[in-house]
Amino acid sequence: MLFRSGFKKDRANFEDLLYRAEIYPGVQDASQTPTAVGTQVGLGVRVTSTQADQRQGTLNQTGRDLDIAIQGQGFLRVLDPASQDVMYTRAGNLDINTDGRLVIGSGQTGRLLDPPITIPEDAMDLVINPSGEVLVRVPGQTELVLQGQIQMAQFINPDGLLKV
């Protein structure tokens, strides 16, 4: 996989150095210490433009009941349903899949929120409060019932995350 790691200024344009990751950031080394930046091998240069903007965006109302926004730093932890790979995202377009679990994206193909939060099939109301608690009201209950807590993951160097 190729990564953007820096650039060298040329007279006519910008060229980026290309690297192949030998050891990914966060992998434990021989002393069981997580590596901060990993190890990469230089492959030369080519013109490219890939960089994530980690700045806070404008918060907008979407009109969808399950959409959330992350204010400040942090990522939601999700699992790919096919591979079970752990991934992180700042996307807040929540949905409920056919198993009643909260997912990021569509109910059919979304990535599973981790830790999992399951919404009862007969839930009448669903509330996600500012601290990330997911509460529902079910028939016969007057009070909202806690179903789970949306948890945030933070990274010392979010720009070092592998983009997939």
Residues ≥6 apart with Cβ < 8 Å to 56: 71, 72
**Cβ(113)–Cβ(102) below 8 Å:** yes
How many whole angstroms separate alpha carbon 96 and alpha carbon 99?
8
pLDDT at 89: 92
To the nearest whole percent, how much of the chain has pLDDT over 90?
43
At 73-106, the pLDDT tens digits run 899 999 988 888 899 999 999 999 999 999 998 8
The yes-or-no verdict on residue 127 having pLDDT over 90 is yes
Q: Helices then strands (H, E): number in the chain?
A: 0, 12
At 45-76, the pLDDT tens digits run 655 556 677 778 888 888 888 999 998 889 99
At 138-148, the pLDDT tens digits run 999 899 999 99
Model pTM score: 0.67
